[in-house]
Structure 1
């Protein structure tokens, strides 16, 4: 019987998808709240509007330097926390306690 535990590779795949999406969503939300357009951010960064679109696409492998530049251009800062995946651990523990065994990983 194959193991259904979530592996480090599974977590890595998930984080590589989640983190850029979360960061770009935060930037877009902040810009919307401040009524800023992509062209405003482009002007502040000294880059083209298409470059800002790339940065905000969440497909771009955004660097920490780029994030710092975006934050400075928006007169803002990022707050970063590294927290344990308690929700995932709680779900897994619940299924084990209920005699269901570990949940299969969602790959995709």
Structure 2
């Protein structure tokens, strides 16, 4: 593992592919805190690194198998059905989930 680099002052730069690789390596394989990881990235805060990892890099590591995609589709469909049941309950008696969905499409 490299030594922590000194922190220069100046404008913020875009993350390089090398920085992204180092960030993933330090987070996933070295069991370091975000503050410790920030020591390897001059001019970047632990918060900036955490956001970069969680929103840009960690998501890329997600492998979507056909089975996982089908589970996602099923979950979306289940939510869609439940959503209209909840809405119909809130609108009041006499309104079915299908009636609420159809009326909402007209709005």
The TM-score, its normalising length taken from structure 1, stands at 0.28
Q: What is the TM-score normalised by the length of structure 2?
A: 0.28
Q: Kindly indicate whether structure 1 or structure 2 has the higher relative contact order, using CA contacts under 8 Å at least 6 residues apart.
A: 1
Q: Please state which structure has a larger fraction of its residues in helix.
A: 2
Task: Find the structure with the greater CA-based Rg.
Answer: 2
